[in-house]
Amino acid sequence: MLQVAAQKRRGAFALDAQFELPTPGVVALFGRSGCGKSTLVNVIAGLLKADSGWVALDDAVLLDTALRIDVLPERRRIGYVFQDARLFPHLSVAANLRYGQRRAQVPPFVGIDLVADLLDLGALMSRRTHQLSGGERQRVAIGRALLSQPNLLLLDEPLASLDASRREEVLPYLEILRDQLSIPMVYVSHDFDEVLRLATHLVLMESGKTIAQGNLSEMSLNPGVRAIIGADAVGAIVESTVIGRDPASGLLRVQVGHGELKVHFGHAANGAKLRVQLLARDLIVATQAPQHLSVRNTLSGAVTAVMSDDEDSDLIGIDIGGTIIMARVTKAATRELGLAPGLPVWALVKTVSLRPHPI
């Protein structure tokens, strides 16, 4: 368990943050630029002094201002991947990687071969850092942080300085790290797609404060998240279980709530967990069981809430068997269908609009 609480004033800006992350896990600090995400990460790393605060990782207390405990950053065993990589320009890639490894205070559990393998660094070893592309720089920075044998990895918008195609050069590696090494991560981002792919938990920040937190499924329904990512990106993120492959279509069948979805996905064993985002704008709501439609996916459930989203549309919460999904409909549709809490409904979604990710 990672526990963080921190208060800090700097001029007009006030940080007042508190969150917890079950370990191992990946928590995304999510919010608009300038909301204090990086400040909070620097407090966790110890690079910035909090006015008051408390940082603990499992049994180790790293910061407790009340007891005047403040472990030096170089002794916290927290790896930090900066937005601008911060590779040492006078050292080769290999020497950069070994910098933290040499200074590790514990017997290494992450070796240079493993890191080179996971991050595909083999061909870069003898290069100078200024010969690397942006994506390569970040991969080296991630490897360097991992080799310092950290108990926790902080990633401060590691992809923000890369263009979209370069991001794809790095993101899969981060997914591999999450799946193969059980190092908890704090991932700072203002890009919800990255969060969706990497995070297990989400802490929402606004003007220096942590305003909501929870696992990704809970948080996908949070109005604060909706406010940042916009109406078109909002949608429930649900956990599903692989139950087989549909022989006719070749699509993967996954169970969600007490219903079933068919999704495009490569190999996955039965019982494996997939995370599926159901964009609210892509859901169709029916008050009768639909027939004769091309839509592959029909989920039955009951309306839990009708929330006004903007002047024209409502967000309809639907319980599909212990799992809540959200659909966006016009206010006119809400009226005509008589959508109200408790009403049995069917939610329809096209397979092509479903985006499954492994967890």
Partner 1 sequence: MMWLSANESQALTLSLSVAARSVLLSLPFAVLLAWVLTRRQFVGRTVLDAFVHLPLVLPPVVIGYLLLLLFGTRGPIGGWLERAFGIELIFTRNGAALATAVMSFPLMVRAMRISLENVDRGLEDAARTLGAGAMDRFATITLPLMLPGVLAGAVTAFSAALGEFGAVITFVSNIPGETRTLPLALYSALQTPGGDAAAARLAVISCILGLGGLLLSEWFARRVRRMLGA
- Footprint of partner 1 on this chain (CB under 8 A)? 45, 47, 72-80, 82, 84, 86, 88-90, 99-100, 103-105, 128-130, 144-145, 148
* 334 phi/psi in degrees, rounded to 5: -55, -45
Name the minimum Å distance from CB 80 to partner 1.
4
Name the minimum Å distance from CB 95 to partner 1.
10
Q: Which is nearer to partner 1, 47 or 243 (CB)?
A: 47
Name the minimum Å distance from CB 130 to partner 1.
4
Name the minimum Å distance from CB 57 to partner 1.
14
Contacts (Cβ under 8 Å, ≥6 apart) of 43: 4, 6, 8, 15, 49, 50, 53, 55, 63
Q: With 0-12 CB in 10 A as exposed, 13-18 as middle and 19+ as buried, what is 354?
A: buried
Name the minimum Å distance from CB 78 to partner 1.
6
Q: Which is nearer to partner 1, 74 or 232 (CB)?
A: 74
* 41 phi/psi in degrees, rounded to 5: -65, -40
In terms of residues, how long is the chain? Answer: 359
Q: Which is nearer to partner 1, 40 or 326 (CB)?
A: 40
- Distance between CA atoms of residues 90 and 127, nearest Å: 11
- Distance between CA atoms of residues 73 and 52, nearest Å: 17
Q: Which is nearer to partner 1, 44 or 318 (CB)?
A: 44
Q: Which is nearer to partner 1, 29 or 85 (CB)?
A: 85
Residue 137 corresponds to which tokens in the numbers above? 């720089």
Q: Which is nearer to partner 1, 144 or 296 (CB)?
A: 144
Name the minimum Å distance from CB 232 to partner 1.
36
Measure the CA angle with vertex 303, ends 300 and 306; round to 5°.
145
Nearest alpha carbon to residue 276 among 351, 331, 165: 351
